[in-house]
Homo-oligomer: A and B are copies of this chain.
Amino acid sequence: MARDDGEHEGPAPRGRPLSTETERAILDATTELLAERGLAAMTIEEVAARAHVGKASVYRRWPSKGTLAFDAFVTDFLDRQPVPDTGDLRADLLELLRGWTRVVRRPATGRTLKGLIAEVQRDPELAGGWRERFIAPMRASHMAVLERAIARGQLAPGANTGLIMDLLYGPAYHRLLHGHLPLNGAFVEDVVAAVMAAIEAGAL
């Protein structure tokens, strides 16, 4: 989202390189503040002060509050997502959605995820990175699950995989953002049951 991490050389990196210590301090301060107050109430001034760092050192690395919060949040979040491969589609889907709700039910994590989704709506610059570095990896990981199911013959080769994933995660994000109903175990099981029923009926 922030740096390009181009791996093919570059022309020649003159001058003092960016300090990894400074970067760590900024990300740690961001994580703390995200947990303490949430993204909306966090300011870059406060991040810099907390990290004992100049504001310019933050802006040198991240162009906006959203990209910074994104970097502080996303690796950790993605690492916590399960990558199930039980040999059974229903079990895999259950594990996927259970893993997601487990992580998201932690107050700081759920709040930050909601805050980031909010920020993405407000900042078009952020939206591209969000799709590429959050939505896309999530979906890629999910697609692998579905492709294994196709390979096993549990899912038709022409199945509408995009929609299956939206039927699985859409209701979950819906409840996360609007809070009208709980994100509990029963919810997970019912969603998976419905999706599996639709798949088995050939509707997906």
Contact = CB atoms under 8 A, between A and B. Distances in A.
A148 interface: no
A144 interface: no
Contact of A201 (B38, B40, B200): B200
Interface residues of A, number: 49
A121 interface: yes
Contact of A198 (B38, B175, B181, B194): B194
Interface stretch (A23-31, A81-89, A161-169): A161-169
A139 interface: yes
A179 interface: yes
Contacts of A127: 179
Interface string A104-134: 0000000000110111111100010011000
Contacts of A178: 117, 120, 130-131, 135
Given A120-B178, A131-B179, A160-B190, 17 more contacts: A38-B122, A39-B122, A115-B121, A115-B122, A131-B178, A139-B180, A163-B171, A163-B194, A166-B174, A167-B167, A170-B172, A170-B173, A170-B175, A194-B198, A197-B198, A197-B202, A198-B198
